[in-house]
């Protein structure tokens, strides 16, 4: 047991995670002018937020803190790279690696499985065996809208209930199977490169997760798995198009199959990245395709 675990991780086992997150969600949506302006201005100072890139740069113009936190950016603030795969969010690439069979590495001595991450869907998990993963951590100061990493069609969405541990480096290093035990949304897409899974992982104080097609998913925090099937709907999204939002910091995980966008595993980590910046360069994708096709 070390001090990082004692002071940063142990308290999370003891506090009512969902109750605190519901309280944060309630507070973040209060429209009392003095209260929401105090919260917004304090947050801007604490995290040195650059409001010049916001579509609405006046912090007092937002009706509530949550509207500010999930603020839109000015057109062109996040150029979308001409690449086969771009970052779906601002943040830090905390991990990029090959998937060893069906085993993913969270941190030293902490493994978890595709089946656990994907809500027990064994058939779907098999599509990503020996594939690649990238984990992007969003801190509170980051832009918190999630965008499409490549052109694709939405196939289904699954809400998996779970814990709400923080997803900072200390917790990732000490909480076993963190990403497979926290609440999450699993978004399944079909793309020109094959299946792609994008997982939005909740965390403590993430008072809300939502998508552009279904609206707010949490809260309330449900006790059972929920599934939405979109096979019969024509839900196509272009690379860089908005697909969802977080309230407060969290994590996005991308999974790709074996021999499809394989250089994803070779990304430098940790490394800061912005939404729309390339996760893969065009020549990397073409080399992989040519190699696997020969």
Question: Phi and psi (nearest 5°) for 137?
Answer: -95, 125
Q: Which residues, other chains included, contact 237 with Cβ-Cβ below 8 Å and sequence gap of 6+?
A: 148, 151, 152, 153, 154, 189, 243
Instruction: Report how far apart, in Å, the C-alpha atoms of 40 and of each of 43, 79, 160 are.
Output: 5, 26, 31
Active-site residue (options: 147, 193, 208, 285): 147
Give yes or no: 90 in active site.
yes
Beta pairing class for 132-138 and 250-256: antiparallel
Q: Which of 57, 60, 17 is CA-nearest to residue 39?
A: 60
First-to-last alpha carbon distance for the chain, in angstroms, is 51
Residue with tokens 């079909």: 190
DSSP 197: E
Give yes or no: 193 in active site.
no
Active-site residue (options: 87, 94, 250, 285): 250
Cβ neighbour number for residue 268 with a 10 Å cutoff? 8
Contact between 204 and 21 (Cβ < 8 Å)? yes
Q: What share of the chain is helix, strand, coil (3-state, %, to 5)?
A: 30, 30, 40
Question: Phi and psi (nearest 5°) for 51?
Answer: -85, -10
Taken in order 64, 241, 268, 172, the sign of the CA dihedral is: positive
Q: Which residues, other chains included, contact 117 with Cβ-Cβ below 8 Å and sequence gap of 6+?
A: 104, 125, 179, 180, 184, 199, 253
Give yes or no: 147 in active site.
yes
Active-site residue (options: 90, 94, 144, 208): 90
Residue with tokens 């690696």: 97
Q: What residues are annotated to the active site?
A: 90, 147, 250
């Amino acid at each position: 047991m070390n001090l990082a675990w004692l002071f940063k991780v142990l308290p999370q086992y003891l506090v009512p995670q969902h109750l605190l997150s519901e309280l944060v969600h309630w507070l973040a949506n209060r429209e009392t002018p003095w209260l929401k302006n105090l919260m917004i201005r304090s947050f801007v100072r604490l995290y040195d937020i650059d409001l010049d890139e916001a579509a609405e740069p006046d912090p007092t113009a937002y009706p509530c803190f949550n509207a500010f936190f999930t603020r839109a950016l000015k057109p062109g603030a996040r150029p979308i790279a001409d690449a086969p795969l771009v970052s779906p969010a601002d943040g830090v690439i905390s991990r990029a690696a090959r998937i060893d069979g069906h085993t993913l590495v969270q941190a030293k001595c902490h493994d978890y499985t595709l089946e656990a991450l994907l809500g027990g869907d064994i058939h779907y998990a098999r599509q990503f065996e020996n594939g690649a993963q990238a984990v992007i951590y969003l801190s509170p100061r980051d832009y918190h809208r999630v965008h499409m990493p490549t052109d694709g069609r939405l196939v289904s969405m699954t809400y998996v209930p779970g814990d709400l541990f923080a997803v900072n480096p200390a917790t990732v290093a000490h909480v076993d199977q963190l990403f497979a035990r926290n609440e999450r949304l699993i978004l399944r897409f079909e793309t020109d490169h094959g299946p792609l899974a994008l997982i939005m992982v909740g965390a403590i104080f993430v008072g809300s997760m939502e998508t552009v097609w279904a609206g707010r998913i949490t809260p309330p925090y449900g006790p059972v798995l929920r599934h939405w099937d979109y096979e019969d709907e024509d839900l196509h999204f272009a690379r860089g198009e908005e697909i969802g939002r977080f309230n407060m910091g969290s994590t996005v995980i991308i999974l790709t199959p074996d021999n499809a966008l394989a250089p994803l595993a070779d990304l430098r980590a940790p490394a800061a990245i912005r939404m729309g910046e390339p996760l893969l360069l065009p020549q990397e994708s073409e080399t992989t395709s040519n190699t696997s096709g020969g």
